[in-house]
Amino acid sequence: MIAIRRLAVATAILAYALIVLGALVRSTNSGLSCPDWPTCYGYWVLTPADFAALPYTGYTYEQVMLEWVHRLIAGVFLGPLVLVLLALIVRRRQERPGLLAAGGLLLALLIVQKLLGGITVLDRNSPWSVALHLGNAMLVLATLLWIAVRAGDVERREVSAGLHHLTAASWLLVIGAITSAAIVAKSGAALACSTWPLCDGALLPDLADPLIRANFTHRFLAGLAALALLLLAWQATRAGLPADLARLARLAAIVVWIEVGLGAVTVWGEIATGLAVLHQAVGVLVFAKVTLFWWRLRAASRPLALEAGDGLALRGA
């Protein structure tokens, strides 16, 4: 199980890096620099000479390379790592049968991610396609983290249903805030609310304007997520959880408020590319921490019968 856990963690780190690279592609308007898919201007490898010979594209070679490298990492590195991980899971399925379903889900999500990648290009990077592409990438990351947690040993204990529900709500709010940010960025609504924390000086702006509505929705979800994670950190500390697990909830709360601050600075800085990428990188880090907390909480409170079926050694993590 150690090999499965380590490979799942390594693949999750690569998936995180790929999501952040995707933010850079989006922030530099490079998403359509390769207008076809899966090739780029009909080439699998587009050299500077090939690019120079093309009719005017409206993009620089650097923009093309950003999109191409993003595709390369997804297809040549992430995909094969997932296949190796699945092979290990199948090989060790007798020891931990519960991982087989997670592996199957991971494969399905990866296939969907490939298809969504093509759709985003063919649909000219529409806001909804970019949001779906990012949201599914987050689910891939979440599944990898679930495999990493379930491949390890956990200390089983009773956890209140209320804490589970609060964690689930926090998780949904975080992923909602991140995917809505993609819609804001691709719809041109990033500065629809030109001030922060109020939207153009109003607590509740005129939502008839679709750009203001998209921006305000993202801010609303982000604010709810930040408050939910504060409450989660407090409840996790009071629940008598293992120290490292409670610390994870507190870290998520701290990082989400850093993310809120970055959101404000992004508006004040008029959406500089570096700030926009950092904003998403920290947001995905919040998601990863909340996901890890939820998965560890679920693994620790699974019924004994299920644990025995998985062959899980019930000893301290």
Beta bridge partners of 43: 40
- In degrees, rounded to 5, the angle at the alpha carbon of residue 85 between the alpha carbons of residues 79 and 87 is 105
d(CA 4, CA 20): 24
Q: What's the confidence (pLDDT) of residue 154?
A: 66
- C-beta separation of 316 from 204 below 8 A: no
Residue identified by tokens 């000479």 is 49
For the chain, how long is the longest CA-to-CA vector?
66
Nearest to 236 by CA among 222, 221, 248: 248
d(CA 241, CA 224): 24
Residues 255-275, mean pLDDT to the nearest whole number: 80
Distance from the Cα of residue 317 to its chain's centroid? 26
What secondary structure letter does DSSP report for 32? Answer: T
> Which tens digits make up the pLDDT trace of 17-70?
999 998 898 888 888 888 888 888 988 999 999 999 999 889 999 999 999 999
Confidence band for 220, pLDDT divided at 50, 70 and 90: very high
- Indicate if the pLDDT at residue 141 is higher than 60: yes
SS3 40: strand
Amino acid at 181: A
Nearest to 17 by CA among 140, 114, 149: 140
Nearest to 289 by CA among 224, 223, 225: 225
d(CA 302, CA 297): 9
Distances (CA, A) of 97 to 92, 105, 295: 8, 14, 17
> Which tens digits make up the pLDDT trace of 161-170?
889 999 999 9
How does the average pLDDT of the chain come out, rounded?
Answer: 87
d(CA 116, CA 44): 19
The pTM of this model reads: 0.88
- C-beta separation of 92 from 1 below 8 A: yes
Beta bridge partners of 202: 199
Find the range with the poorest average confidence among 98-102, 113-117, 219-223, 310-314: 310-314
Alpha helices in the chain (DSSP H): 2-27, 48-53, 61-72, 79-91, 98-122, 127-150, 161-187, 210-238, 243-268, 273-300, 304-309
- C-beta separation of 53 from 109 below 8 A: no
- C-beta separation of 145 from 292 below 8 A: yes
d(CA 182, CA 229): 21
Q: Which tokens is 177 given?
A: 């805030």
Packing angle, helices 273-300 and 210-238, rounded to 10: 40
Confidence band for 160, pLDDT divided at 50, 70 and 90: confident
What secondary structure letter does DSSP report for 45? Answer: S
Q: What's the confidence (pLDDT) of residue 310?
A: 45
Nearest to 43 by CA among 51, 52, 33: 51
